[in-house]
Amino acid sequence: MTTTLTETLVVPATKKARRARRPRVNLPFAIMIVMTVIMLFPVYWMLLTALLPTQAVFSRSPSLIPTGEMSFDSFVGLLVKTPIFSWIFQSIIITIGTSVLSAFICLLAAYALSRFVVPGRKLTAVGFLVGRVLPGTLLALPLFILFQTVGLLNTQLAVILANVAVVTPLTTLILKGYFDGIPRDIDDAAMVDGCSRWGVLWRMIFPLSVPGLVACVGLSATAAWTDLLFSRTLLLSRDNWTLPMGITSIIGAHEVDWNELMAAGLISIIPMLIIYWFLQPHLVSGMTAGGVKG
C-alpha cells in the first residue's frame, strides 16, 4: 500500500506509523520547511535590519542576502548603552509570576469546573468569555485607579495580577477541556483507595494534564512577556521598566536607531524561545501511550 499524505496526517505520531509506512520523501517535512521559511521571513528581515546599515535595507533594491557589510555593532551597542539586562530581569520576574500564579489558580478552577456541578458555573463560563471584550486601552484608566486604591501602583504585583486577569479565562477553559478528557474513573478509583479530592488532583490528574498545562504556561508566559499596556500604565519608575517598555524607549524623542531597535526586538525573543524549547517534550501526552487503563 502506498503512503498518502492523508494517511500520514491522520495517524498519530506513534511508532506504528513509522514502522509500517515510511515515505521516500517526508512530505510533511518538506511542506513544513517551506511554510516555516515564509512565516519567518519578517524575522529574517528584522535580522537584516539589525545587521546591515540602514541604506542597504531601506532602498528600492534591498539586499535580500547580506553581502559582506554585516556588523554586530547594534547588538553590542545595546548591551553596552542600555540597561537591557535590567529590562530582561524585570520581564522575567513578571513572566514567572504570571505563569505560576495563573497555572495554579487555573488548575484549581478547571478541576472544579470539570468534576463538579458548581453553582453558577454557566455564569462563570460566560463571564470568562465576556470579560475579554473590552479593549485594553479602555481598561488602562480603571486599572490604574484600582491599583492606586489598593496601594499597588508601581509594583510588579500589579502587573502580574493584571496579566493573570487577562489570561485566566482562557487557560481555565483549556484545562477544563483537558480534564474533561480524563475519565472520571481515575478519580473514583483513587478515592476508593482513600485519596482525598486534593490528592486526586495532584497525584492523578495533574500528571495527565501536562500537555494542557504546557499550553497554558506558554500562553500566560507569552502574554506577560510581550505585555506593554499594563506595564506602561502601572509602572511609573524607570527602574521597573520591562523589556517591551525598554524597546519602546529606543524610539527616541529625536531619532530612531533602527538597527538597535530591531536588535532589541530580536534579543527579546531569546528567553521565550528557551522556554518554548523546554516546554516541547511535555506537549506529548501520556494518554496517547494508552496509559489510561483500569
Partner 1 sequence: MSQPSTTNREEGVVTASPSRGRQARRWDWLLPVGFMTPAVLIGIGIVFFCMILLIALSLREQKLGTLEALLNSPMSLENYVEIITDPATWRSLWISVIYTVGTTIVPFGIGLAFALLLNEQMPGRRVLRTLALVPWAIPGVTATIAFMWIMQPTYGVANYLLRVLGISDADVDWFGNVNTALIAVMIPTIWKGVPFFLLMLLAGLQSINGELYEAAEVDGAGRWAKFRYVTIPSLAPFIFVSLVFGAMHSFREFDFIYASTGGGPQGATETIAVRIFNLAFDRFDFTGAAALGVFTFVLVSIVIVLLVRRDRKGALEGFL
Partner 2 sequence: MITRSKVMAAGTTAALTIAVLAGCSQPAPTTPDGTAPPEERTLEILTWTYDAESKAWWDRVNGAFEDANPGVTVHMEQSDFGAIIGDFVTQSTAGEVADVVHIPAPVLTVLGWAESGFLAPLGDWLEDTGLGADLHEVQSSMELNGETYGLVFAFNAAMLFYNAGLLEDAGVGVPTTPEEFVAAAAALTGHSGGDGYGFAVTDDESVNFVTEVLSFIVGMEGEYVTNGDWSFAAPKVVAAVDVWREMASNTAPRGTNLSAKRTAFDTGSVGMMLDWPFYYAASIRSASPDVADQVTLAEPPFPVTPLFISQGFGVSAQSDQTDLAKSWLEFAMAEDAQRYYAELEPVIPANQKALSVLGENPATQPILDALDRAELIIPSEFTGMRTNSSEFRTLFTGAFRQLLQTDQDTSEAMQAFDEALRSAGIEP
Of partner 1, partner 2, none, which one sits near residue 181, judging by CB under 5 to 8 A according to partner kind? partner 1
Binding of residue 211 to partner 2 (CB under 8 A): no
Task: Return the one option of partner 2, partner 1, none that residue 26 interacts with (CB less than 5 to 8 A, by type).
Answer: partner 1
Give the residue, chosen from 15, 19, 24, 254, that forms a contact with partner 2 under the rule CB under 8 A: 254
d(CA 53, CA 101): 43
Instruction: Retrieve residue 242's grid coordinates.
Output: 520591562
Q: What are phi and psi of 63, to 5 degrees?
A: -85, 110
Cα(157)–Cα(143) distance, integer angstroms: 13
Beta strands in the chain (DSSP E): none
Partners of 256 in the beta sheet? Answer: 251
Is residue 288 part of the contact set for partner 2 (CB under 8 A)? no
The SS3 assignment for 256 reads strand
- What is the C-alpha separation between 221 and 52, in angstroms, rounded? 31
Nearer to partner 2, 20 or 145 (CB): 145
Close Cβ partners of 165 (under 8 Å, ≥ 6 residues apart): none
The site partner of 236 among partner 1, partner 2, none (C-beta below 5 to 8 Å per kind) is: partner 2
240 binds partner 2 (CB under 8 A): yes
Query: Is residue 36 near partner 2 by the rule CB under 8 A?
Result: no
Question: Contact between 86 and partner 2 (CB under 8 A)?
Answer: no
Q: How far separated are the first and last CA of the chain, in Å rounded?
A: 36
Q: Exactly one of 18, 41, 238, 292 binds partner 2 (CB under 8 A); which one?
A: 238
45 binds partner 2 (CB under 8 A): no
Q: Does 73 bind partner 2 (CB under 8 A)?
A: no
Contact 180, 115 (CB under 8 A): no
The one of partner 2, partner 1, none whose footprint includes residue 86, by CB under 5 to 8 A per kind, is none
- 3-class DSSP state of 1: coil
- Residues engaged in binding partner 2 (CB under 8 A): 53-55, 58-61, 81, 93, 96-97, 100-101, 104, 137, 140-141, 144-145, 148, 151-157, 160, 202-203, 206-207, 210, 232-233, 236-238, 240, 248-249, 251-258, 282
